Amino acid sequence: MKSILKKFNLETPYYSVSTGETCWEGNGDTFKINSPVDGLEIGHVQGGTISDFDNVMNQSKEAFKIWRTIPAPQRGEIVRQFGEALRQNKEDLGALVSYEMGKSLQEGYGEVQEMIDICDFAVGLSRQLYGLQMHSERPGHRMMEQWHPLGVVGIISAFNFPVAVWAWNTALAWICGNVCVWKPSEKTPFTALACQQIIKKVLLDNDLPEGISNLIIGGRDIGQEMASHPDIALVSATGSTRMGKSVAETVARRLGKSILELGGNNAIIVTENADLKHAIPSIVFGAVGTAGQRCTSTRRLIIHKSQYDNLVNQLVKAYEQLHIGNPLDESNHVGPLIDTQAVEEYKNTIQKAIEQGGKVLAGNKVLAGEQYLSGCYVKPTIIEANVNMTIVKHETFAPILYVMTYTNFTEAIKIQNSVPQGLSSSIFTLNIRESEEFLSYSGSDCGIANVNIGTSGAEIGGAFGGEKETGGGRESGSDAWKAYMRRQTCTVNYGKEAHLAQGIVFNF
């Protein structure tokens, strides 16, 4: 890991505030980062202060004046070069993600691949920022709609996808002509600093101004500053619902724009017509992958009573076979939680579930011993639950799966929709009526609804996000780019007469 840190210039001093060429050590809070993998200190980072943030804002506003004049396909060329640089750094950056955050090496590489994919998507999109042409009701008039950049986009990201979420936002924001200021999670600053090194080189090689891509390490105070700053046109915030409510309120007070990507409480319905051979690996990956720390992790399983005993027995057996340990060792299936505070939440949640009538069927153990020195390794847990348990409605960021039964399909959908969150959902069935009903207006109320695949592992081509307390934002593919631009409706009179809309006559 030392050589990777060296490669990304992450030996002291690290510059926790960067506007491209100009980097400086912040004067704010110190964040000491220990890897959840082995508990060893990766290093410490001095975060930025509010006055550092003001300097970053000045640099970015200057950079915006230049960046917006560069044609979108040329901005796409810069994003293409960034994608190439990521390809060259995929293994090292992926390993650093794995070591700092604790996800498996495969998932670390997958996260960097997602960054590459969104760059490719954004490059194509840079020639497709289409407006519309409408027929005017007035003779000799033309009406059209066009899209302009917003300005400075602020990105607040969570620890669990420490780099991909930034790329989803920034690649689109850049081709749309915006400049970005990124405040990553204070739990994963090193991966963010590595990304900044990569983009910095691309910008400098192209003689582009500082401030197109800016980084500031900091905690909640810097996030709050970002939310309240009048010059941040769009705040894209990913994290807990608690954080999202605070950001939404602050941004709304100044009538700014926000994209909110918040917590999920994702369910899979397994009907009497499901192919279990197909369902089981998807359920296990969804529930234990990234140690249950994906916003799309499977947290609830709603099983038809005819399948319940068989499926639950098979799941318990599968859980017994899981290898838990160092995520950099590819023979392990489950790595650590992010920190010991997350371990406490795992323990408290299981305790509450038991108090509310839940029955533990697998797991419920914090692992100790030489392989688990960080204290962050836990056994993935299955709890038999019922819909009346309030804890089931709550997102705990840990590998805890609640299993429940249903008897008729309408009831299954009702249970699926009975939580405050609305991110991802799935159904396993070979019955077309069930799958179509699940996808219909009276089916899943989530932003993502899948058939015969699990709740996690979205592709970048689709718009990503969820409803209700998940925040309603959409990022990534489809037409999510429109949130990063402002729409302008233009009417041109090329005729020789003046006409008013609605045929209004105004003579003088």
Kindly list the residues in this chain that would bind ligand NAD in the complex (CB under 6 A): 156-161, 183, 185-186, 219-220, 223-224, 227, 238-240, 243, 246-247, 261-264, 295, 395, 397, 423, 470
- Residues 385, 299 contacting (CB under 8 angstroms): no
Closest CA to 211 of 225, 222, 196: 196
- Residue 100's SS3 state is helix
Say how far apart CA 379 and CA 387 lie, in whole Å.
24
Amino acid in position 391: I
Residue 354 neighbours by CB under 8 Å, 6+ apart: 360
Q: Shortest gap between Cβ of 159 and ligand NAD (angstroms)?
A: 4
Residue closer to ligand NAD (CB basis): 85 or 448: 448
Residue closer to ligand NAD (CB basis): 161 or 402: 161
* Catalytic residue list contains 261: yes
Catalytic-role residue among 261, 395, 434, 437: 261
Tell me the HSE value of 271 on the side-chain side, using a 13 A CA sphere: 23
Say how far apart CA 384 and CA 391 lie, in whole Å.
12
Question: CA separation (Å) from 439 to 155, 284, 380, 425, 433?
Answer: 32, 23, 30, 10, 10
Question: CA separation (Å) from 315 to 65, 283, 284, 318, 362?
Answer: 56, 9, 7, 5, 9
Q: How many CB atoms lie within 10 A of CB 37?
A: 25
Q: Shortest gap between Cβ of 120 and ligand NAD (angstroms)?
A: 20
- Residue 425's H or E segment, with its range, is strand 424-428
Say how far apart CA 176 and CA 485 lie, in whole Å.
7
Residue closer to ligand NAD (CB basis): 77 or 339: 339
Residue closer to ligand NAD (CB basis): 259 or 382: 259
- Residue 323's H or E segment, with its range, is none
Say how far apart CA 328 and CA 37 lie, in whole Å.
8
Residue closer to ligand NAD (CB basis): 36 or 263: 263
Residue closer to ligand NAD (CB basis): 239 or 399: 239
Number of H helices, E strands in the chain: 13, 23
- Residue 385's H or E segment, with its range, is none
Q: Shortest gap between Cβ of 76 and ligand NAD (angstroms)?
A: 24
Say how far apart CA 193 and CA 190 lie, in whole Å.
5
Burial of 221 (0-12, 13-18, 19+ CB in 10 A): middle
Say how far apart CA 222 and CA 228 lie, in whole Å.
10
- Residues 41, 100 contacting (CB under 8 angstroms): no
Residue closer to ligand NAD (CB basis): 138 or 474: 474
Residues with a catalytic annotation lie at 261
